[in-house]
């Protein structure tokens, strides 16, 4: 069977060895007599799979201990709403600043407007989204709930090679990044990031899994209207098991983490 060259942004090509391992284990995972899709998410076998996947991702991205690794659902677009639902409450007027460098960050800003006071601190819309406005020219507020940017604009092709140091720009706020389309392709400077989120289907594994990596102090600010299973504190406290997680997607993502290690 010839496999085509597939440059789709997502769902995207998977390592062949991972697909073969998933196929080999489809009916029987490690001798337990059933496949991962069939087993209880509360059982010991799946617990092992989840823990290993989180530990491997932590190691791959050198995620510091004061960050939680959450395996959520909904895709990156759902988290365009879930992030403000969790973080906007850090500011009394729900002030959120956005840096818009392409279609995805533009979408994020529009969605966040439903939940608070969105300020576009910088935008390259007038240039057709072909550049990043120099950070020194961003009109950031002093202390918004957070600052959002998309670290790789999949459609417009604009990528941040270095993340901004908000403190040096006079802004005391955590940086939120949508890293959907370049996660695992580079190290992340966690000193500059408060929360990173992204769908797994581009760089990691099957659709259905959404990664959220969030600093401990950013938990616990969810607005009352935030659905409980999307409250990042609940997800952290319940080890990504507030409801049934996307077990198959987590398992395959775990195989990819092992492959990439
Ligand atoms: C940077 C970025 N953010 C968000 C999305 C939307 O993600 P999802 O389809 O997982 O909601 C995509 C692509 O689909 C993307 O490339």
Q: Give pLDDT tens digits for 25-37.
A: 999 999 999 999 9
The reply to whether 56 falls in a domain is no
Task: Tell the residue nearest (CA) to atom 16 of ligand 1.
Answer: 154
Q: What distance in Å separates the CA atoms of residue 60 and residue 159, rounded to the nearest whole number? A: 21
231 falls within a domain: yes
Q: Residues 91-141: pLDDT tens digits? A: 999 999 999 999 999 999 999 999 999 999 999 999 999 999 999 999 999
Q: How many domains does the chain have?
A: 1
Could you tell me if residue 124 is inside a domain?
yes
State the pLDDT at residue 84.
99
Q: What is the pLDDT of residues 51-67, one digit of tens each?
A: 999 999 999 999 999 99
Helix (H, G, I), strand (E, B) or coil at 190: helix
Cα(77) to centroid(ligand 1), Å? 6
Q: Tell me the sheet residues that pair with 256.
A: none
Interval 132-151: pLDDT, tens: 999 999 999 999 999 999 99
In order, the DSSP letters of 37-103 are GGS-TTSHHHHHHHHHHHHHHHHHHT--TTEEEEEE-SHHHHHHHHHHHHHGGGSTT-EEEEEE-SH
Q: Counting every residue, how long is the chain?
A: 261
Q: What is the mean pLDDT of the chain?
A: 97
In a domain, 181, yes or no: yes
Atom of ligand 1 nearest to the CA of 79: 11
**What pLDDT sits at residue 246?**
98
256 located within any domain: yes
Check 29, 104, 138, 231 and give the catalytic one. 104
pLDDT at 5 over 90: no
Q: What are the pLDDT digits (tens) for 220-239?
A: 999 999 999 999 999 999 99
Q: Which domain holds residue 225?
A: 63-260
Inside any domain, residue 145: yes
CB distance 251 to 54 below 8 Å: no
Query: Band of the pLDDT at 10, cuts 50, 70, 90?
Result: confident
Residue 187 has pLDDT above 90, yes or no: yes
Residue 111 beta carbon below 6 angstroms from any ligand 1 atom: no
Q: Residues with Cβ < 8 Å from 128, sequence gap 6 or more? A: none
Instruction: Report the pLDDT value the prediction gives residue 198, as an integer from 0 to 100.
Output: 98
Does residue 140 lie within any of the structural domains?
A: yes
**CATH number of the domain enclosing 212:** 3.40.640.10
141 found inside a domain: yes
Structure confidence at residue 1 (pLDDT): 78
């Amino acid at each position: 069977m010839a496999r085509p060259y597939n440059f789709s942004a997502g769902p995207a090509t998977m390592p062949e060895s991972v697909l073969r391992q998933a196929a080999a284990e489809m009916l029987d995972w490690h001798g337990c007599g059933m496949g991962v899709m069939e087993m209880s998410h509360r059982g010991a076998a799946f617990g092992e799979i989840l823990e290993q996947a989180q530990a491997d991702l932590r190691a791959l991205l050198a995620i510091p201990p004061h960050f939680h690794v959450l395996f959520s659902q909904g895709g990156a677009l759902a988290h365009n709403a879930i992030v403000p639902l969790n973080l906007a409450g850090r500011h009394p007027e729900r002030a959120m600043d956005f840096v818009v460098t392409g279609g995805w960050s533009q979408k994020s800003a529009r969605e966040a407007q439903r939940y608070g006071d969105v300020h576009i601190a910088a935008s390259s819309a007038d240039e057709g989204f072909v550049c990043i406005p120099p950070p020194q020219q961003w009109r950031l507020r002093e202390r918004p709930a957070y600052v959002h940017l998309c670290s790789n604009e999949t459609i417009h092709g604009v990528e941040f090679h270095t993340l901004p140091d908000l403190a040096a720009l006079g802004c005391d706020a955590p940086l939120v990044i949508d890293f959907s389309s370049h996660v695992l392709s580079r190290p992340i400077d966690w000193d500059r990031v408060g929360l990173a989120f992204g769908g797994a289907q581009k760089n990691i594994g099957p659709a259905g899994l959404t990664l959220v990596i969030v600093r401990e102090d950013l938990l616990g600010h969810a607005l009352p209207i935030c659905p409980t299973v999307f409250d990042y504190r609940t997800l952290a406290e319940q080890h990504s098991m507030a409801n049934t997680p996307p077990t198959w997607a987590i398992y395959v993502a775990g195989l990819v983490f092992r492959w990439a290690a």
